[in-house]
Amino acid sequence: MNGHGTLTLITGGARCGKSTFAEELAMQRGGDMVTYIATCQPWDEEMRKRVALHRQRRPPAWKTVEEPFQVAAVLSAVGYKSKVVLIDCLALLISNYLTGGTLAEENFTSSQDPSLEKKGWEQVDALISTARRTPANTIVVSNEVGWGLVPPTPLGRLYRDLLGRANCAIAANAHEVYLVAAGIPLELKSLSRCRLR
């Protein structure tokens, strides 16, 4: 495969149909030549069940790579072999970095390890630059977490802020940005261009 691929961001609230739409888009564009990068670390039984449901939904020909941290490196490795690389999801990737890969909010203070936020942001930058130079079509699924109540903990507020910045950065570099609400995708970049004319 030659040339550069595209970058697509799919975002929305929890359980709104983002992943289902992302998988449909990946199938349309990549058929069987799709690599699915899963960032989830299933810590409990509920998460393990959710992961199992996601796996069952995917076509058997798709390749799955489970990577909670070094997503850009995986994208670089598979982006020349796959037509589409689907990353699900950015929200969990940011969470993995901010918590150091553990569920440790009760022990977290914003000054505990300032390098965690920096490492998370560096991974977002690396993801954007890698998506630009690989020929695969990269689809990134994320969450909108800034529309609800202000999180009551320092970690929650830091997470909301960093994920919001990450969504904005990826959207600015994406060819398409879809907002999914109640299972219905709305493409935002084309609407934005129409409004600016």
Give me the catalytic one of 17, 54, 117, 164.
54
Angle at 96 between CA 95 and CA 97, to 5 degrees: 90
Rounded to an integer, what distance in angstroms lies between the CA atom of residue 156 and that of residue 59? 35
The answer to whether 163 and 143 have CB atoms below 8 angstroms apart is yes
State in Å, rounded, how far the first CA of the chain is from the last one: 35
Residue for token digits 């390098």?
Answer: 115
Q: Is 10 helix (H, G, I), strand (E, B) or coil?
A: strand
How crowded is residue 152: how many other Cβ atoms within 10 Å of its Cβ? 7
Whether 54 is a known active-site residue: answer: yes
The answer to whether 90 and 142 have CB atoms below 8 angstroms apart is yes
Cα torsion through 148, 152, 155, 156, rounded to 10: -10
Q: Which residues are catalytic?
A: 54
